[in-house]
Amino acid sequence: MNHQTIAVLDFGSQYTQVIARRIRECNVYSKIYSYKTSAKQLKKDGVIGVILSGGPSSVLAANSPKADPKIFSLGVPVLGICYGVQLIAHLLDGKVEKSKEREYGHGTLKVAKKGSLFRGLPTKLRVWNSHGDRLAKMPTGFSAIASTENSSYAAIADEKRKIYGIQFHPEVDHSEGGINILENFLRKICGCKGDWSMADLARESIEKIREKVGTDRVLLGLSGGVDSSVAAALIHKAIGRQLTCVFVDNGLLRLHERELVVDLYKRNFNMDVRVARAGSKFLKALKGVTDPEKKRKIIGKTFVNVFQDSLKRIGDAKYLAQGTLYPDVIESIAIDGNPAATIKSHHNVGGLPKSMKFELLEPLRELFKDEVRALGSALGLPKEVVWRQPFPGPGLGVRVLGEINKRNLDILRKADAVLHEEMMESELYYKVWQSFCVFLPVRTVGVMGDERTYDNVIALRIVESKDAMTADWSRVPYEVLQRVSTRIINEVEGVNRVVYDLSSKPPGTIEWE
């Protein structure tokens, strides 16, 4: 890599990804390494600074994860965070002990000596703690530069060797001045220029893909979502028509979705896009099924079968490309001995069987979601693709409640298209997390043109969220809701009532199924 790199050694902290993310916010490239990575490897990679993450273990435990002690002799600055500072003391000649007063949540940090790490910050900061151990004795050469209520050594420094340790978490939003502390470490201590950008990453990624793939062919399952779209655009920039994209039309797509995807990638970007029209297969497999979990399993299994059949017709290819992101990698890393608990094991596209012999090509595996969006913009993808709202893998299959059939799907597609148009027209689409319609298997009495009707109900679901872990219903202006309701009832045959979902997550989920 041509750009300066900061290594983040992962000891299993739930905040490791956040540390890497904060570094990139300072326009500095960061890469997460296993805690087992040798000092020799870090030197070979040319890292100019090392951050030791937090973690759930205690350094006092016999089997706790340890870093290569030679890291402190690399001649590059080191910053230990929470478990990281305890590890510094443990590996050098300091002492760590169980704390009588465990520190979780907010605490007050009193800065005694600003030095390079706290330069430009106030002497009192509200910070976020999460630890049960504490330093009882500092290693030789270190001095205490800050304290909290329960720790005299909340921040320590060896300015001569440029080794620093802090007991709190500067990477989380709860820590006042946290980003400034990290920026001081990066700029003042490591000497980072802060000149890393998505344009640099795009150029380097294209070169890497060309070098790795050579003259071989690559297959990619294109969904039209952000991740697969950006992966496709990046790989296509590198190898052109050596890339073949497979778009599976499962009959559960939104209005004109297949045509829009083909038009965008095939005509505008001149990509080799093969469409597998399998709507009838999916609907046949789903006939009579109402249980949400059964629906999902049937859709997933049918997708795998259709995708496999498509690959047989396309011919030989060496690589299978995926839009795997950094969070997927970290969630799966416990398989390789990482001390963090496994959140979920990473899966191939649609859960493809192991019998399919491909080498994986994952050009986005070191990026976060918002970075993927930025990369997509840099590659020239339109805003409606880059900032598209999340869409579930099973598609409208989990938005038509009850049995799935062509009539109910068509009603939902038309209603959803109306909502999309009005959200775009009112400039609300990109301001919310998701906005969609749900078809309810409920019929109600209505009056249209002085005649009695007995038709279906459409529910509107519009939520605001940062990460989909929690969500709140969006306070959409009444006039917008009125227009959406009026248009759906007037324009979509089979609907005579529209309701608005006022549930938050938790206790409800964003999708209804």
Is 183 among the catalytic positions? Answer: no
Is 171 among the catalytic positions? Answer: yes
* pLDDT at res. 342: 37
Could you tell me the pLDDT band of residue 54, with boundaries at 50, 70 and 90? confident
Q: Is 277 helix (H, G, I), strand (E, B) or coil?
A: strand
Provide mean pLDDT across the span 30-54.
93
Which pLDDT tens digit goes with each residue over 233-289? Answer: 999 999 999 999 999 999 999 999 999 888 888 877 889 999 999 999 999 999 999
Average pLDDT, the chain: 87
pTM equals: 0.69
* pLDDT at res. 350: 42
Q: Is 302 helix (H, G, I), strand (E, B) or coil?
A: helix
Could you tell me the pLDDT band of residue 88, with boundaries at 50, 70 and 90? very high
Residues of the chain with CATH 3.30.300.10: 401-500
Residue with tokens 């990453």: 201
* pLDDT at res. 198: 83
Which pLDDT tens digit goes with each residue over 122-167? Answer: 889 888 776 567 788 999 999 999 988 778 888 999 999 999 999 8
370 vs 319, more confident: 319
- Residue of 90, 131, 169, 236 marked active site: 169
Is 120 labeled as ligand-binding?
no
Could you tell me the pLDDT band of residue 311, with boundaries at 50, 70 and 90? confident
Is 174 among the catalytic positions? Answer: no
* 198-386 CATH, one of 3.30.360.10, 3.60.60.10, 3.40.50.620, 3.40.50.970: 3.40.50.620
Is 46 labeled as ligand-binding?
no
347 vs 260, more confident: 260
According to CATH, the topology of domain 401-500 is: GMP Synthetase; Chain A, domain 3 (3.30.300)
Provide mean pLDDT across the span 106-110.
84
Q: Is residue 434 within 8 Å of 462, Cβ to Cβ?
A: yes
Query: Per mean pLDDT, which range of 98-112, 201-215, 409-423, 453-467 is the poorest?
Result: 98-112
pLDDT higher than threshold 60 for residue 338: no
494 vs 198, more confident: 494
* pLDDT at res. 467: 67
Q: Is residue 453 within 8 Å of 496, Cβ to Cβ?
A: yes
Could you tell me the pLDDT band of residue 465, with boundaries at 50, 70 and 90? confident
CA–chain centroid gap for 137, Å, is: 39
Write out the two tokens for 103: 């520190």
* pLDDT at res. 329: 60
Query: Per mean pLDDT, which range of 71-80, 88-97, 441-450 is the poorest?
Result: 441-450
Is 227 labeled as ligand-binding?
yes
Provide mean pLDDT across the span 352-370.
77
Residues of the chain with CATH 3.40.50.620: 198-386
pLDDT higher than threshold 90 for residue 20: no
Residue 149, phi then psi, degrees to nearest 5: -55, -40
* pLDDT at res. 355: 65
* pLDDT at res. 48: 96
* pLDDT at res. 354: 63
* pLDDT at res. 219: 92
Q: Is 464 exposed, middle or buried (0-12, 13-18, 19+ CB in 10 A)?
A: middle
Percent of the chain with pLDDT over 90: 51
- Residue of 171, 176, 331, 422 marked active site: 171
Which pLDDT tens digit goes with each residue over 165-196? Answer: 998 889 887 788 889 999 999 999 999 999 88
Among 70-84, 148-162, 293-307, which range has the highest average pLDDT?
Answer: 70-84
Q: What is the DSSP string of 308-346?
A: HHHHHHH---SEEE----HHHHHHHGGGGT-SSPPS---
Q: Is residue 155 within 8 Å of 119, Cβ to Cβ?
A: no
Which pLDDT tens digit goes with each residue over 432-448? Answer: 999 999 999 999 988 77
Is 45 labeled as ligand-binding?
no
Which pLDDT tens digit goes with each residue over 381-421? Answer: 888 889 988 888 889 999 999 999 999 999 999 999 999 99
pLDDT higher than threshold 70 for residue 103: no
CATH class of 5-189: alpha beta
* pLDDT at res. 108: 86
Is 224 labeled as ligand-binding?
yes
Three-state SS string over 175-228 comes to: CCCHHHHHHHHHHHHCCCCCCCCHHHHHHHHHHHHHHHHCCCCEEEECCCCHHH
Could you tell me the pLDDT band of residue 358, with boundaries at 50, 70 and 90? confident
CA distance readout (Å), 34 to 3, 7, 38, 67, 159: 21, 10, 9, 9, 26
